[in-house]
Structure formats: C-alpha cells, structure tokens
Structure 1
Amino acid sequence: MKNLILAFALTLSTLFSFSQDEGITITVTIDNVKNDTGKVLMSLHTSETFMKGKGIIDAESEIKDGKVIITFENVTAGEYAILALHDENSNQRMDFRENGMPLESFGTSNNVMAFGPPQYDDAKFKVEDKDLELNIRF
C-alpha cells in the first residue's frame, strides 16, 4: 500500500513539474489601428533578430473595429522586444515614401517613438515567471 501511495505521489509531482515547463504567454493588444484594412503583423525578437528580419515568433491578425489581440505562447524566460506593423496592403512588409518615411503605422513594445528606426534597448522587456499583458500604440 505504501508503494502505491508513493507511486501515485510521484506521478502527481511529475505531472505538475511538466506543466510548469510550458513557458510564458505574452498577450499584446493594439487598440488604435487607424482602419480595418489589411492585417497587423507582429514579431517577438531577441537582440540578435531585432530589425534584422523575422522574429523568433511571428504572428498576424485581422483587425476588427481598430483593435487586434495577438498571443505569443510558450515563451522562455529572457529579454525580448516586439515590433508591430499595420500592413494595410497585405504585402507582408513595411512600405516607405521616397524620403524613407514609413507609409504604414508601426509600434514597438514600451511604446517609445523616436526619430529614426526603433532601437532594441528602448523596446526591450523581461520575461520571467508570469504571463504578461502588453499594449502597443501606433
């Protein structure tokens, strides 16, 4: 009987330890998209991938009433930044004017808007041991 109870307790503790290894969920809301045309593209980046192409996790969402919610799941602890783009013409990239200024709205985690391209140090945040909810403004 002791062996049965011990085996049951060991099984339960193993199940709980696996459920804790699933990673963190980051839920990002953008509620000021200027229209519902196109999609919002969003990428989770490390310092190595920021402004250099695809993120470590990329996602996209339809826009409804100027709002999108995108969730990044199973994110491991570490330091990250998020880039978001309102891809109005659905061409999967940011479009620019002849003078280099963006034609489409964009934003970053921490909502720092400066002249010039976004900087990782301005947009970075830490993922530790609990789920996060972020709001990005365009």
Structure 2
Amino acid sequence: MNTIVKLMTLALLFSLQSLVAQDKGDLTIRFENVKDTKGELYVGIFEKDNFLRIPTIGKIVKVDEKGSEVTFEDVAYGSYAISVYHDLNGNQTMDRESDGMPSEPWAMSGTIDPNQYPTWDAAKFDLKSKKQEFLLKF
C-alpha cells in the first residue's frame, strides 16, 4: 500500500510539472514598413511594472531587405507590451526631438496614437497560446 501511495504521488508531481511547463509560449514578431536596411531593431517585451523602462526580455535584430522578424521562445503566459525602435545611427539609444518625440522609427503593440505618449493599457496584450504572432508596422 505504501508503495502505491508513493507511485501515485510521483505520478501526480510529474503531471503537475508538465502542466506548469505548458504555461509558456513562443512569441514571433514581424516588422513591416522598415524603410532603411542600416542599423538594428531594438525589441523589448515589457510587463506593467517596467513598461518602457528596462524590458523583461529584449533582443537586437538585424534589418534586411526581406523584412525582419524575431522569435522569443518559452515566454511565460501573461500580459505584456512590445516596443521596438530602429536605431539608424548605431548609438543604441532611441533618439528624440527637442519636444520629446522620437526622431527614429518605432512601433508598439496595441492601439497607440503616434502623437501621444504610449500607455500600458493601450499597448498590452495577453500571451496565452503555444505560438502567437504579431505584425508591427513602423
């Protein structure tokens, strides 16, 4: 009887572990209207607490003539926002005009008005499937 209880406990633990492992997905982001092939795209995935500060996950993507895309693998299910800017001059910073408006191309998830400062509520989305894709337009 004791052996059966131990085996059932182990089986339960393994099944719970596999359920937890399934709470991650791959997030692929494709970029459209990238007008210049020089420079790199700085892609950040943000959570609410760090929105537009330091990304939870980030990658730098080379730009090519065919368009660009990036995949983030094994991202935990949850609410996120994507922000990307095209660093044309290679200074690793999103350059801005004197009024604070970006002077380099950028794109963001959600329904962002390009003439207003982005908000979490307008940019957020839920990652809740094994594979999810976004198309961001500059």
TM class by shorter chain equals 0.7 to 0.9
User: Runs (4+) of structure 1 moved beyond 3 Å?
Assistant: 17-20
How much is the aligned-residue C-alpha RMSD, in angstroms? 2.4
The within-5 A match list for 1:15-94 is 18=18, 21=21, 23-51=24-52, 53-65=53-65, 67-94=67-94
Unaligned runs of 5+ in 1: 1-6
Relative to structure 1, the CA distance from residue 133 to residue 95 in structure 2 (aligned partners, 3 Å threshold; closer, same or farther) is: same
TM-score normalized with structure 2 length: 0.81
Specify every segment of 5 or more residues in structure 2 that has no aligned partner in the other structure, as ranges.
1-6
Number of aligned residue pairs: 128
**Cα displacement string for residues 52-88 of structure 1 (whole angstroms, at most 9, x for unaligned residues):** x221100111101162101111111111000010111
Shift of 1:49: 0.8
TM-aligned CA deviation for residue 18 of structure 1: 4.0
- Identity, in percent, stands at 29
Q: Which moved more, 1:119-128 or 1:97-106?
A: 97-106
Higher-strand-fraction structure: 2
Structure 2 CA distance for partners of 1:50 and 1:72, relative to 1, 3 Å: same
